[in-house]
Structure 1
Amino acid sequence: MDAWMIVIAGLAGGTLLSRYYGKLKLRRAGVVEVNVPEAERLVSDDGALVVDVRELGEYREGRIPQARHVPLSEMRQRMRDLERDRPIVVSCRSGRRSAYAGIYLARNGFSHVYNLKGGMNAWTRANRQIER
């Protein structure tokens, strides 16, 4: 029984450490995590572009209105189509792939990069409009 408790504690600690490390990587790269209302404010007040990095099938199921589709798998080739000085809110299903995309954009000269915390899951839970 004690061995299982140690394993469970180790897994839980590893998960927490992984999340902390991920947030630290975002901060170091200059990517800011934002919630749904903050993302909406960036779009409406600052003219931010929402970039959806999910694959095509996911994107077609529903997306943030006016989001531009740039799958993570194509980010390297297609980032030149994005404006480097325009604020960008990166989104995916849960916020994980968009975090990777955000770090990549920031490291390649994009100056105002935001990651939508919780991604489309958070957007949907907040009962926001979805474009199909």
Structure 2
Amino acid sequence: MREEIEGIEQIDVQELKQLYKDSQAAPILIDIREPSEYIEGHIPGVPLLPMQQIPEAAESMKKEESYVLICRSGSRSQHAAHYLKENGFNQVKNFAGGMLTWDEEVNKGMENPLENVGDLYQK
């Protein structure tokens, strides 16, 4: 896809699938939806960091890392990516289309709520 909106690179479902499979070069995927949405279905292994917690979490996140933000449709994740970019995170991408376009396996339940930002960097 390689489109940018407001300076944020957009990736489509095919690009996300490739990144998800290539764990060595993969950016850190973060689901920013509400807990109730995450419980209904999320990409296996992707942590939950609700959008309203991003400003506080950003204080502890590594700015040099690469991130892909995920929400239901790509709208909230675009706003969150823009916020991070404005705060010095230069490698932030948005999953355009969001979970509405994800056609692979999903897990249900509260698998991976992010309690400590440092957990993002455990591979």
Q: Match of 1:129? A: 105
TM-score, normalised by the number of residues in structure 2: 0.75
1:52 aligns with 2:31: yes
Matches of 2:9 and 2:67, distance apart in 1: 10
1:114 to partner: Cα distance: 0.8
Identity of aligned residues (%): 31
Q: Match of 2:49? A: 70
Q: Which has the larger radius of gyration?
A: 1
Pairing of 1:1-132 with structure 2 (within 5 A): 24-25=5-6, 27=7, 31-43=8-20, 44=22, 46-123=25-102, 127-132=103-108
TM-score, normalised by the number of residues in structure 1: 0.71
Unaligned runs of 5+ in 1: 1-22
- Of Structure 1 and Structure 2, the greater helix share is in 1
Unaligned runs of 5+ in 2: 109-123
Matches of 1:86 and 1:113, distance apart in 2: 9
Matches of 2:105 and 2:62, distance apart in 1: 25
Counterpart contact for 1:50–1:66, Cα < 8 Å: no
> Once superposed, what is the RMSD of the aligned Cα atoms?
1.6
1:42 to partner: Cα distance: 2.8
